[in-house]
Amino acid sequence: MADYHALAQSIAALTEGESDRIALMATVVCEVHHADERFDWTGFYRVVGPELLKIGPYQGGHGCLTIPFSRGVCGAAARTGQVQLVPDVDAIPDHIACASSTCSELVLPVHDAGGDLIAVFDIDSDQPDAFTQTDADQLATILASVFAR
């Protein structure tokens, strides 16, 4: 499991004073992706229009370029504002398979200081049932400390 305390400290130090969202996303995704071997694909999908997400900074193989709020696990996180903790992506009828190796997924909504949804943070694993509520809680805290400040 990731050392979330060390990860939070590293991200805080690397992002201190930075306000550009893309730079922040790129830094966060790099640090998180390399923090845990369970994290096979890690990336942001940015809100770019009404009910529309577009790929942002990521680590791993190619991601889907565009995801509507109405489809998939990322769309559900954006649409509902709720964390999506999916132990088995094959059990989700409208799962969008950007990579056939994905077995489980964790998607967190990302809000700015005003509470507006700016992105979702997506982590895929090639391991089944790879994520816990602790992962979701710790990552949500890190994301809020970077994007809602």
Nearest CA-CA partner of 119 in 139, 143, 102: 143
pLDDT band at 91 (very low <50, low <70, confident <90, very high): confident
Give the Å distances, CA to CA, from 102 to 42, 96, 130: 11, 10, 11
Token pair of 19 as six digits: 């306000």
Nearest CA-CA partner of 84 in 135, 41, 128, 34: 135
In the chain, the number of structural domains is 1
The pLDDT score that the predictor gives to residue 89 is 84
**How far apart are the C-alpha atoms of 131 and 105, rounded to whole Å?**
7
The pLDDT score that the predictor gives to residue 136 is 98
More confident residue, 62 or 32: 32
User: Residues with Cβ < 8 Å from 60, sequence gap 6 or more?
Assistant: 33, 40, 41, 42, 43, 99, 124
Instruction: Give residue 123's domain range.
Output: 4-147
**How far apart are the C-alpha atoms of 2 and 10, rounded to whole Å?**
13
The pLDDT score that the predictor gives to residue 51 is 96
The pLDDT score that the predictor gives to residue 77 is 97
Over residues 96-144, the pLDDT tens digits come to 777 677 899 999 999 999 999 999 999 999 999 999 999 999 999 999 9
Give the Å distances, CA to CA, from 111 to 39, 43, 129, 148: 22, 15, 26, 6
Q: Whole-model pTM?
A: 0.95
Cα angle 51, 53, 55 (rounded to 5 degrees) comes to 175
> What's the CATH code of the domain at 101?
3.30.450.40
The pLDDT score that the predictor gives to residue 85 is 96
The pLDDT score that the predictor gives to residue 1 is 85
